[in-house]
Structure 1
Amino acid sequence: MEYKIEVNNQTEIYDIGKVAKQAAGSVMLKIKNTVILAAISRDDKQVDENFVPLTVQYIEKTYASGKFPGGFMKRETKPSDFETLTSRIIDRSLRPLFPDGYAYPTQLTVFVLSCDPEVDLQVAALNAASAAIYVSDIPVNKSVSGVRIGRIDGELVVNPTNTELSNSTLDLYVAGTKEELLMIEMKANASMDNNTLPMMTIDPMIDPTLSENMLPVQKINEATEEEILEAIDKAQEAISAAAHAYEEAFSPIKKEDAVLEYKQDLMDDSIAIYIDEFYKEEVKDAIAKMAKSERASELKTIIKKIMTDDTAIKEEWSEEVVKNVMNDYKRKIVRKMIIEDGVRADGRTLTEVRPISIETNILPSVHGSCLFTRGQTQALVSITLGGDKDGQMYELLTKKGNQVDNFMVNYNFPGFSVGEATPLRSPGRRELGHGNLARRALEPTLDVDRVQTIRLVSEILESNGSSSQATICGGSLALKAAGVNVHKLVAGIAMGVVFEDDKHAILTDIMGLEDHDGDMDFKVAGTRDGITALQMDIKLGGISRDTLKEALYQAKEGRNHILSIMEKADEEIKVNNSILPKLELFSIDPSKIVDVIGQAGKTIREIIEKFEVSIDLDRDKGEVKIAGDNKEKVEAAKEHIVGIVNQPSRGRDSRGRDNRRGGSHRDSKPVPKFVQDEVVDGVVKRIVDFGAFVELPGGIDGLLHVSKIADHRVERVSDYLEIEQAVKVKILKQNGNKIELALVK
């Protein structure tokens, strides 16, 4: 049976009861040409432990977009990072809905069967997964909706298309029910000012048509706290509307809840009284030690001691029950200290950040490194720089061909960081999620049109909470230590909230103990001017907007405190230029490419051999790319090519050979003079990303910038102009042979 739901700027068609009918619940969702199957199954036997054994697998079938699987094996194998991160988003959004004590192994499978390049797969996947659970016999009686909020041309947009999202300054993904929000992820998107040239595309020293007021300006587009709150309000309205629509449509066909047994919390009031009477001080001492480690070994020692007491033996107390009672008792003490005394387990105030120390470039053979230590959390972050060929190739269903990732963030969490003797394993969902959060926080501060490939690796050497935020802080400084052009420093901080009755406390820079025993945690990363990335796992049903606002502004204070320490460390960085590779990208007049190549390639071979560099040339765009392991030699090669380009042109044929007797230089012509605002005839001679070069009377070229072609933003210059097209242009400004033009309609 089909259910057509118009909600949040898209038409969703749910086909229920048609396929996968032996699953506990299944749906097939269609949005435009995207088709997603979600099916959930449940075992009849409970696990021994008291937790929700939910497994979520989101899988993209390559046939969904008419592709073959990449690599040697021509079938889907290991999930991509995007698939893993999407599985994690679905899990975090749906897990809180399962009833307390539910311990039946449950498998949620989401297949992408057909892909429309404009449909947001993460939004569609979560909505399909939620519908499958809601119509099943699993006792989940709330519907979840996912929405994405973008900010395009200053306006908030619900569920923008993928093309629209690429032009958005904000990317906010929110999941929740009609009453409360469950999960939030946000990132800022950097952009270039429309009235400037693309970063690192043209060197004004080489192309004389550029003027000084046309230097590139990059916008990081950080979101302020108020802008975040406004976007969350918009998301909450959209989610509530969608959840109401889903429940209204699916309630009549929802299966009757299965009759299940639920595990009860193993509690015993008499044991709690016994612990309070005889072990209260020992538990407090253990909590103080836990403030320095994520391990609970001290509590385990006390539990074993209790089990040897005569009372425990006579009463035949179960060690599992004692353990549960002890954990609950510990939780109450921690929360009471915070709410009533305003003091935390390690003695800090609620707003106090743990001591921070920073060392940079401690690894002599590494391009850049930073050892960032905050309390008992320590991250060693290293940077490796390379060329565009060093990027990570990957595929996306929504895009054709292979994509290349030239900014990678790898987060590693070895067992010794928390004192555990566990073997090293491949990165799991947690590691990929933390690395992705750090990437989202840092990427907006890098050049939009950077030509470097950057790999950032964070080794967590010690952990007691907020290791992902230590990765962000250390990563920002490691980038600086490697000489990367970072527009602003980024700091990250983890916050927590504790609620008791009508009281609440907001905690800055939470440790592992507070993360475990708190009611809400969120991570905020950004610059002094705003937030670049945000991640929250929350329930806002009982949380007022004022409380959330208070938490965001308290996070801002903590972030600025950390940034002050980072700024001092930045001033002391000594970049090891001797080991840094160098990559230069600049443009020259395409007609001068033959001069750089030389007869039969002689000139370019001499440059490569002399300066020990590699050179790539683009004849059509006039782009020159020089790469090498020695910065000085790369810069010398660039100066050598600039010298060749600045020599008077020689007439050459298509093979680069001198086609005039004696190879004499042509006579130089005087530069014609124009009057400001004068309208003249011209001919388009060259089209580039940032505009067009127009030949004017007298044989000189002027620059018609992309911002002067139309009265609105122009995406592609070739949509408006073509080579050899006759045009009328107005002279805006002339400075010698530098002439700026505007198109006359």
Structure 2
Amino acid sequence: MNKKTFKKEFAGRNLEIEFSPLAENADASCLIRYGETVALITLVASKQDENTDFFPLMIDYEEKFYAAGKIYGSRFIRRETRPTEGAILTGRLVDRTLRPLFDQDTRRKVQIVITVLSIDRENDPDFIALLGASIVSSLSPIPFRGPAAGIRVAKINNEVVLLPTYDERENSSIDSFWGGIKTKINMIEVGAKESQEDEIEEISKISFEKIKELVSWQEEILKNFEVDKINIKKPEVDQEIREFINSTLKSHFEDKYFKETPQEGYKNHDQATDLLKEFLEEKGKLDQLAVAESIVFHLLDELVHESALKHEKRFDGRKLDQVRDIEIFTGVLPRTHGTGMFLRGKTHALSIITLGAPGDSLMQQGMEVNGEKHFIHQYNAPSYSVGETGPNRGPGRREIGHGALAEKAIQPMLPSREEFPYTIRVVTEILSQNGSTSMASVCGTSLALMDAGVPIKKHVAGIAIGLMTGSNGEYKLLTDIQGPEDHHGDMDCKVAGTKDGINAMQMDVKIDGITPEIISEILIRAKKARLEILEKMEASIASPKKDLSPYAPKIAIISIPVEKIGGVIGSGGKTIHAIIEKSGALVEIKDDGTIYITGETKESISIAEALIKGIVKEYEVGEILEGKVSKILDFGAVIELSPNKEGLVHISELAPRRVNTVDEIVKLGQIISVKVIEILPDGKIRLSLKQATNQDNTNTNHGRN
């Protein structure tokens, strides 16, 4: 098998790309290795154009359990099924970097598949996934304005670290991934802990230099290959239709599209569509509607850009740095554990908190991530939120991405598990969409957490900054972009954080990218808007409520010696199941001896706690205890002191007189007071009923039924 191999040392490790006929039926493929993390990247393009009005690009990131040397999945399946959240987010990360670099008039199906074959638990595959996807895109017959590359950069103990390991990222104050081409940055993903704007700027500049280095290396590699690219057919439209669009419809949009309220703008857009259909029907050219609508889209693009660049005029009449009107409500639902409703213009988000037991955590099992997740944020955007009909088929990639971004923004402000052991699930329902819904979900979640009484450190808010660029390099930033500005704009950059710093940042573009200098301006603009929003949120609810909802479960935490864990669990779980059954509380035991007791009432928790303490109790000679008669024998009575501990009262210790039969004194199930008189070396306990009672008491009824 013929091979071409290219090697480079990068960030202290070996980077290697191999080209071979391994996936020879693909249009382009490569095997890429960094350390002992290996991925196969393939690209296949259809041979004919699809009948669609968008570029049908699919990027799939495939996690394989065998890459980590594990057998996972249900015991009845034992194979990979649907992608994990991590796999979806990595696929989106690659997609967001590469998609703007393809010609958007391409109508051929393009599928890039990234299959992780080996993972060394140090090197995250996202780095080689993007690098390899750029290489195969450059070698494919589909026009591509690359190469592109990306790099993960962290800040750990005030030091910038390139391509940090998984363990290093756990201790980072900033964990970021940057994508771009040789001249621009076009994708940003940042998780931070109240980092300052200048820290993000510093990392952006370092990342950009490394991206340029990786792009230059790809350019050298590509010189070894001859690549034939296809010609992309641009939409062709009848000249008569084009003249109608550039005269009648352009005048209509100029006069009526930019109105004081979005509702008027949308209404006038619909009127323009009706005018176009009437014209085409009159001319007998209705078959050209799709192409004509494409021309109209580009016309609106030009008008929206021109309005912002030349006149600093926006779709709804706001100033370029103006945030839409905000309304805030908390406690809007009676039975839920906490709610926050955040309204910004026509973007409406309702965030709802549910508090659960520690055992209600989300179990994660995958190639990269394994463990429990105790804070979960999920984002839903039903079709009615955009005034459309459609089936509800569960969250798509967009919903998962938006949910993860808000989760990343809130996470640093959450209390420790020792302080607040609850599992927290937040669901944000987007009731109405008009831009920046992910940032509205951040604000709604922060409000809901305080309403629920979760002791978060401070409020978190988010804002989306847009961009309009001109052909001569001029540009304008737009604060708090809404639907049309997002749809026709060149960038959507979301920044979320507290009054003291940035927690999350995410940027996507529709152009080739932006410079670090523009990133600096974005951060300044975002901070101004974020502080303005935070002021309004704090005016509504400034700190977490002191008490949890009466409908939230109660949790108690106790600790027992590790060697006592087996006694609490019992043979086959018999003891712990008995505790749960008797108390009605949920009991979760950790390996270090920490026990979480969760119940609907304080009484159920108290019962479970007493039972557990009884099990692990160290008994002492001379102690007076209460127990239940569990067995009656010829020579005495067995007393249950706790669910897994019994003692024996010999017949001679039942009463201060001769006793002929045990049941003269005690009955089965009777609760009696007994005294510990001896603890044998094997742990068995000898008890006395007569010594537990007063010496002058001759009453034989020493207990209760």
TM-score bracket for the superposition, by shorter chain length: 0.7 to 0.9
Given that 2:265 and 2:315 are in contact with CA atoms closer than 8 Å, whether structure 1 keeps it comes out as no
Greater CA drift, 446-455 or 114-123: 446-455
1-structure distance, mates of 2:413, 2:343:
22
The yes-or-no answer on 1:4 pairing with 2:7 is: yes
Output the amino acid matched with 1:361: G
Q: CA RMSD in A?
A: 3.6
Aligned to 2:108, the other structure's residue is in SS state coil
Correspondence for 1:27 among 22, 26, 30: 30
Aligned-residue offset at 1:165: 1.4
Greater CA drift, 542-551 or 585-594: 585-594
Correspondence for 2:147 among 138, 143, 151: 143
Superposed, 1:144-163 pairs within 5 Å as 144-163=148-167
Correspondence for 1:222 among 187, 194, 205: 194
User: Which residue is 2:206 aligned to?
Assistant: 234
Aligned-residue offset at 1:230: 0.4
Correspondence for 2:517 among 534, 546, 549: 546
Larger radius of gyration: 2
Aligned to 2:218, the other structure's residue is in SS state helix
Instruction: Name the TM-score, length of structure 1 as normaliser.
Output: 0.75
Greater CA drift, 320-329 or 410-419: 320-329
2-structure distance, mates of 1:473, 1:167:
26
Correspondence for 2:20 among 17, 21, 24: 17
User: Which residue is 1:438 aligned to?
Assistant: 406
The yes-or-no answer on 1:391 pairing with 2:361 is: yes
Q: Structure 1's 614 and 317: CA in aligned 2 closer, same or farther, altered over 3 A?
A: closer
Correspondence for 2:429 among 459, 481, 502: 459
Q: Structure 1's 605 and 536: CA in aligned 2 closer, same or farther, altered over 3 A?
A: closer
Given that 2:100 and 2:509 are in contact with CA atoms closer than 8 Å, whether structure 1 keeps it comes out as no
| Gaps in structure 1 of 5+ consecutive residues | 189-220, 646-653, 665-745
Aligned-residue offset at 1:290: 10
Superposed, 1:205-284 pairs within 5 Å as 221-252=193-224, 254-258=225-229, 260-266=230-236, 274-275=244-245, 277-279=247-249, 282-284=252-254
Correspondence for 1:414 among 382, 386, 389: 382
1-structure distance, mates of 2:605, 2:542:
25
Correspondence for 1:350 among 307, 320, 342: 320
User: Which residue is 2:487 aligned to?
Assistant: 516
Q: Structure 1's 531 and 605: CA in aligned 2 closer, same or farther, altered over 3 A?
A: same
Aligned-residue offset at 1:264: 0.8
1-structure distance, mates of 2:142, 2:302:
32
Correspondence for 1:40 among 25, 39, 43: 43
Output the amino acid matched with 1:378: H
User: Which residue is 1:702 aligned to?
Assistant: none
Q: Structure 1's 507 and 141: CA in aligned 2 closer, same or farther, altered over 3 A?
A: closer
Q: Structure 1's 617 and 50: CA in aligned 2 closer, same or farther, altered over 3 A?
A: closer
2-structure distance, mates of 1:526, 1:440:
10
Aligned-residue offset at 1:490: 0.5
1-structure distance, mates of 2:29, 2:276:
49
2-structure distance, mates of 1:605, 1:289:
66
2-structure distance, mates of 1:310, 1:119:
57
2-structure distance, mates of 1:130, 1:594:
54
Q: Structure 1's 367 and 21: CA in aligned 2 closer, same or farther, altered over 3 A?
A: same
Instruction: Name the TM-score, length of structure 2 as normaliser.
Output: 0.79
Q: In the TM superposition, what whole-angstrom CA distance separates every residue of 1:314-368 from its partner, at most 9, and x where no partner exists?
A: 9999433432333233233322322222221111111111111111121111111
Q: In the TM superposition, what whole-angstrom CA distance separates every residue of 1:59-88 from its partner, at most 9, and x where no partner exists?
A: 111111222231132222211111111111
Q: Structure 1's 111 and 608: CA in aligned 2 closer, same or farther, altered over 3 A?
A: closer
User: Which residue is 1:484 aligned to?
Assistant: 454
Given that 2:153 and 2:162 are in contact with CA atoms closer than 8 Å, whether structure 1 keeps it comes out as yes
User: Which residue is 1:167 aligned to?
Assistant: 171
Output the amino acid matched with 2:536: I
Given that 1:294 and 1:465 are in contact with CA atoms closer than 8 Å, whether structure 2 keeps it comes out as no
Aligned to 2:400, the other structure's residue is in SS state helix
User: Which residue is 1:131 aligned to?
Assistant: 135
The yes-or-no answer on 1:336 pairing with 2:306 is: yes
Given that 1:14 and 1:27 are in contact with CA atoms closer than 8 Å, whether structure 2 keeps it comes out as yes
Output the amino acid matched with 1:115: I
Aligned to 2:257, the other structure's residue is in SS state helix
Q: How many residues align?
A: 615
Correspondence for 1:426 among 394, 405, 411: 394
2-structure distance, mates of 1:281, 1:628:
66
Output the amino acid matched with 2:181: T
2-structure distance, mates of 1:114, 1:596:
41
The yes-or-no answer on 1:327 pairing with 2:297 is: yes
2-structure distance, mates of 1:100, 1:62:
35
2-structure distance, mates of 1:635, 1:508:
50
Q: Percent identity?
A: 36
Output the amino acid matched with 1:112: V
Aligned-residue offset at 1:465: 0.5
2-structure distance, mates of 1:106, 1:301:
35
User: Which residue is 2:92 aligned to?
Assistant: 88
1-structure distance, mates of 2:623, 2:300:
93
User: Which residue is 1:68 aligned to?
Assistant: 71
User: Which residue is 2:526 aligned to?
Assistant: 555
Given that 1:172 and 1:187 are in contact with CA atoms closer than 8 Å, whether structure 2 keeps it comes out as yes
Q: Structure 1's 286 and 49: CA in aligned 2 closer, same or farther, altered over 3 A?
A: farther
| Gaps in structure 2 of 5+ consecutive residues | 626-705
Aligned-residue offset at 1:297: 6.4
Output the amino acid matched with 2:486: D
Output the amino acid matched with 1:27: C
Aligned to 1:546, the other structure's residue is in SS state helix
2-structure distance, mates of 1:92, 1:295:
29
Q: In the TM superposition, what whole-angstrom CA distance separates every residue of 1:478-501 from its partner, at most 9, and x where no partner exists?
A: 111111121111001111011223
Q: In the TM superposition, what whole-angstrom CA distance separates every residue of 1:245-264 from its partner, at most 9, and x where no partner exists?
A: 12213421x24224x23121
Aligned-residue offset at 1:616: 4.7
User: Which residue is 1:658 aligned to?
Assistant: 619
Q: In the TM superposition, what whole-angstrom CA distance separates every residue of 1:87-119 from its partner, at most 9, and x where no partner exists?
A: 111111111222353221111111111221111
Aligned to 1:579, the other structure's residue is in SS state coil
The yes-or-no answer on 1:374 pairing with 2:335 is: no
Q: Structure 1's 86 and 592: CA in aligned 2 closer, same or farther, altered over 3 A?
A: closer
Output the amino acid matched with 1:465: G
Superposed, 1:89-104 pairs within 5 Å as 89-104=93-108
Output the amino acid matched with 2:11: N
1-structure distance, mates of 2:207, 2:394:
35
Given that 1:522 and 1:536 are in contact with CA atoms closer than 8 Å, whether structure 2 keeps it comes out as yes
User: Which residue is 1:565 aligned to?
Assistant: 536
Q: Structure 1's 113 and 589: CA in aligned 2 closer, same or farther, altered over 3 A?
A: closer
User: Which residue is 1:717 aligned to?
Assistant: none
Q: In the TM superposition, what whole-angstrom CA distance separates every residue of 1:704-729 from its partner, at most 9, and x where no partner exists?
A: xxxxxxxxxxxxxxxxxxxxxxxxxx
Q: In the TM superposition, what whole-angstrom CA distance separates every residue of 1:366-389 from its partner, at most 9, and x where no partner exists?
A: 111112111001111111111221
Output the amino acid matched with 1:7: F
Greater CA drift, 541-550 or 228-237: 541-550
Aligned-residue offset at 1:472: 0.6
Aligned-residue offset at 1:124: 2.0
Q: In the TM superposition, what whole-angstrom CA distance separates every residue of 1:396-445 from its partner, at most 9, and x where no partner exists?
A: 3235xx52221111111111101101121221111111111111111111
Aligned-residue offset at 1:292: 2.8
1-structure distance, mates of 2:604, 2:207:
49
The yes-or-no answer on 1:77 pairing with 2:49 is: no
Superposed, 1:599-678 pairs within 5 Å as 613-616=585-588, 621=592, 623-630=594-601, 633=603, 656=617, 658-661=619-622
Output the amino acid matched with 2:67: A
2-structure distance, mates of 1:542, 1:504:
12
Given that 1:88 and 1:429 are in contact with CA atoms closer than 8 Å, whether structure 2 keeps it comes out as yes
1-structure distance, mates of 2:466, 2:593:
53
